[in-house]
Each structure stands twice: as C-alpha cells, then as structure tokens.
Chain A
Amino acid sequence: MADDVSYDWAPDACAIAGIGTTEYTKASGVSVTALAAEASLAAIRDAGLEPGDIDGFVRSDYDETSPAALADSLGITDVGYWGQTGAGGAAPCAMVGQAVAAVRSGLAKNVVVYRALNGRSGRRLGKGVAATGAVGGNSTYLELFSPWGMTSPGQFFAMITRRHMQQFGLTERTLAEIAMVCRRRANANPAALMHDRTMSLDDYFAARMISSPLRLFDFCLENDGAAAVVVTSTPRARDLAQKPVLIRSVAQSTGTTRIGPGQMYPVLMSDSLTELPSRRIAERLYQRAGLTAADVDVAQLYDCFTITLFLQLADYGFCSQEDAAAFVESGALDLGGAIPVNTAGGQLSESYIHGMNHVIEGVRQIRGTSTGQVEGAEVSLVTSAPPPGSSALLLVAP
C-alpha cells in the first residue's frame, strides 16, 4: 500500500542479473575506461548476456569515463539510455535506483551500472584540495574551509567523531572493533587487498594518528579497480544465467534537516554533526520494502572511515545512538552477530570502489557466494555514503 514515502514504488520489479569486478590493485596500469569495460564485460557475461544486449548505462558523477566511451570499447552501438548521479560515494545505491527507473519506465531493458577508478595510481580522493592558487568560489564553498587547513575528508570525519565521543560516549576501542571486523572478513576474501594482513587491537593502536582521533586503519583503502552490475526486469532476469537478486527497495534522501550548500564540508555548519540523512533514507527504504531492521540478515555499510559505518548503525535501526558503542563492542557486527557487516572486508579492507563493491557483495550474500557468507541470508542491505545526501538498497532472494 502506498503511503507518503512509498509513492507507487514496485518492490521486486527489477533485479540484479549479473555482477563483475576487476582485480583490485595499487597500480592497474590501464585506463579508467579499460577498468570499466573489464568489470562491465564480466557482469554482462555473468548474467548470460552479450554486450549487444545492453542498451543503458548509469555512471557516478565522479567517474572519469563516460557511457559513450565504455559502450564504444565494448562494441555496443545504439545505446538508448544513459544517466548519472552522485555525489561520489553517495551514488552507488542511487545509481541502481536510476537503472530501475529506466527499466520500469521503458527507457531501457538491460542497464549496466558501473564505477571505475584509478584511485591510487591516478586521482587520489584522499589528497583533497590542491595547494596552488586561490581555492573555492563558484558554489563549492571550499573558500570557507580549505584556508583553515580543512582540506581532506578524513579531517571532516575526525571532527564528527570527536563530537560523537562527547555526546554519546563513542571510544577509540569501538572504532578499532569496526576496523578489525572488516579486516577479518578481508582475511577470508582472496580478492581483498588486505587478504594477507591480519590486524590485532595492538596493530590498530600502533598505527599512526592521521587526524585525531582517527588513525591509519580508520581510513579506507586507496586503490585501482572497477565494479559493475546488470539491472533488468525481474521477468527477464528469471530467464538469464544467474539466480536473480531482487531489488526490494531503493531510497535516497538529503535528510530532514537543512542539507547546506556546497558538496560536503558545509555539513560542519549544520545544527547537529551527528544527525545524518541516513535516518530518513532508512525510513523510506524500509517502508517501500515492507520490512524492518529486524528483517535484515546482512549489511554492507558504507565505510570511507570507521566512523561513517558507526554512524549508520543507529540510523538503520540496529541499535540506538546511545547504545551504538556497546552494540559494536558486543561483537554484533561479526559473523554470527546481530548484524554482520561488510562481509567482503568493505572499503576499509577489501577495496575502495566508492561503495560499488558494497553492491557487489550485497548480491553475493543473496546468491550464497560470499567468502563471509551469512547462512540463509534472504534480506541484504547496502548503503552508500552519508553525508550530505545519500542512498541505500535492499536486496532479497527471489
């Protein structure tokens, strides 16, 4: 039944029929377009399709390749639909949503959703603002931040972390637990960049402070690679090669308080640094799905930093803000815990594909093919980056 946030959303109308990734490396040695093509081709073939079956693409606004270049490199002509959304890591779940919109509205049949980056050998997002010339202007609002040394996302999230510590009792030990849980999942995943490197509590605290209170292992990886999925209608997906993974719901929100101008840093000037749009996204997502947090078997929570993952636990209904630290330290995020998270290692320990690798892992959980498989997983949550506006996805078994 439609209500104020469900609109006429149709649960399970579309499915993810194929998934593909490249190898994750520190130096791919190839172009971003080559990475996008490799992951897309893998996803297309995984679905049992041929490149010529693809008639739509959705990209991230941060991507350095275009649907036209990607289609050309795969020999695809007459692309009938292309779209993009953002910003950056806030995009992947919304990108899947945009593919659903294209398929449901009849603009496209089989849509490739992709993210590719040379995030280590090419443009490193963690480097932040360039150092030459006057910075900001043109609605970027960087002029109100960079000149005071606020130049990189880690510094932004460090500010939020300190505030949460004061308000709700978050400790460094809690953040360490998040880093270690993700690392344990990566240690079981041969594709993860941190597959061979275990992490103890001593290792976490011995690592250098980057922007207090955040240490090295509170930060995600920087690497090269790509990930792609094929979205199509559920009836079509049932005739393809894989068990379809149904898209139960998608939601986006800029949150119920003022979003602020610019892209991210002006969030620091909002009334509360600890209230994120993910709370509203969760409401919308669960209402469209007809599900609650209690129904979710496994979650891939966006983790550009440990704190980013932490902040979403309460918003997606797994615990309260006040109890979140104790919830994490109880082992809730581990396999066998209340809500196993980032079962391939996440961006902290598997790969940083700006959250697109979370979509891939969310699909694997429903297929039953994860290296950190939650037995019998039927409802799989995937989130993209808060703040300022963000998106999330609920995947279910057919």
Chain B
Amino acid sequence: MSAAETGVGIEPVTDDPDTGGFFAAAREGRLVAQECVGCGNLQQPPRHRCVACLSTDLAWHDLPPRGTVHTWTVVEHQINPNFPAPYTVLLVDVEDAASNVPLRFLGRIPGRVEPELGAAVELVFETVGDAVLPNWRLA
C-alpha cells in the first residue's frame, strides 16, 4: 500500500542517479554512505562525483547501525497532512573509521522525544509505500 493510500508518510524518489543507491541499500537492510573508489573519501549526502578528488568512480560503504543525536525538533504544528503532529525529527551523527567527520542522517520518531544532544540511537528500518527508510530509535 502506498503512503498516499495509508495517509501517513511521504515516499521518496528512490531511483535518482545520485541518491538511488542509498535507498537500494536500505531495501537490503544496510545503512550506507557514498565512498570514492579513487581516494577513499566518504561523503553524505551522495553526489555525482567525489567532492574531494572529483572522481566519478563511486561505491557504497556500509556504516555501523548506531549513532548519536546531533540535534532535534518536535514538530507540534502539523504542516504536512501525511505527518500527524507531534513527532520528533532527529539529526543523527554516525561515526565510521573511514571518515574523519561524522556522516549525518535524518530520523523520525512519533510523539515528543526530547533526547540530550549526544544521546545514543540505534538503526531500524521502516517501510513507506514501496520504499525502505533507515530510521532511528533511542538506544
């Protein structure tokens, strides 16, 4: 059933040439960042070439299933009809040995979650229509 039919959630375009691999990996239960085959740079969000060395030879690098809360907001005033308020949007930092900066991902938890910044979160997967989204819950 699509998100339009259930009325909850928004489906992403999953076949974009630059970001499609992220959603393809999610369908396989993997959280990934883009990795440059040439120089090893990890980048998030994904792009059409490596921003460090400009190579277009890019692959997908598996990340650990845990992160920390960088910041968050509780959406109290419903703006989009597909997302009943209140809900909490998280920005999550994921550390990986292959990157000297954290890779950052979105998360959404129904209701009012008010975590400390830096709180630990763990990876879960959710289905929205035909897409699978990597998501997070408090660890």
Question: Hey, which bits of chain A sit against chain B, CB under 8 A?
Answer: 126-129, 131-139, 141-152, 154-155, 158-160, 162-163, 166, 208-214, 258, 260-262, 266, 268-269, 271, 273
Contact = CB atoms under 8 A, between A and B. Distances in A.
B71 A131 contact: no
Nearest to A143: B12
A263 to B, nearest CB: 12
Contacts of A133: 4, 11
A198 B44 CA distance: 45
Given A149-B75, A208-B76, A266 B101 contact: no
5 contacts: A131-B10, A131-B80, A144-B12, A149-B108, A209-B77
A162 B115 CA distance: 11
Contacts of B13: 134-138, 143
B79 A147 contact: no
Contacts of A151: 10, 79-80, 83
Contact of A147 (B4, B15, B101, B131): B131
A212 B74 contact: yes
Contacts of B72: 159, 162
The 3 closest A-B pairs by CB, nearest first: A137-B13, A143-B12, A148-B106
Given A135-B10, A136-B13, A269-B44, A148 B108 contact: yes
Contacts of B81: 131
Contacts of A160: 71
Contact of A261 (B45, B89, B128, B129): B45
A317 B108 CA distance: 37
B100 to A, nearest CB: 10
Given A131-B82, A144-B106, A163 B117 contact: yes
A163 B90 CA distance: 12
A236 B16 CA distance: 51
B91 to A, nearest CB: 6
Interface residues of B, number: 45
A148 B135 contact: yes
Nearest to A137: B13
B79 A143 contact: no
Contact of B45 (A144, A146, A211): A144
Contacts, number: 136
Contacts of B125: none
Contacts of A150: 89, 106
Contacts of A141: 19, 45
Given A134-B11, A159-B89, A211 B80 contact: no
Interface of B: 4, 9-16, 18-19, 22-23, 44-45, 47, 51, 70-77, 79-83, 87, 89, 91, 101, 103-104, 106-108, 117, 128-129, 131, 133, 135
B73 A266 contact: no
A148 B104 CA distance: 13
A210 B86 CA distance: 10
Given A136-B16, A147-B10, A147-B133, 7 more contacts: A128-B80, A137-B13, A144-B12, A148-B108, A150-B106, A155-B73, A159-B72
Contact of B117 (A154, A162, A214): A162
Contacts of B77: 208-211
B14 A143 contact: yes
A134 B12 contact: yes
Contacts of A154: 79
A143 B117 contact: no
Given A155-B75, A268-B91, A269-B104, A147 B11 contact: yes
Given A129-B10, A258-B51, A212 B76 contact: yes
A144 B71 CA distance: 17
A159 B16 contact: no
A154 B76 CA distance: 11
Contacts of B73: 155, 158-159, 162, 211-214
B19 A143 contact: yes
A159 B91 contact: yes
A131 B4 CA distance: 8
A140 to B, nearest CB: 9
Nearest to A124: B79
B84 to A, nearest CB: 10
A213 to B, nearest CB: 8
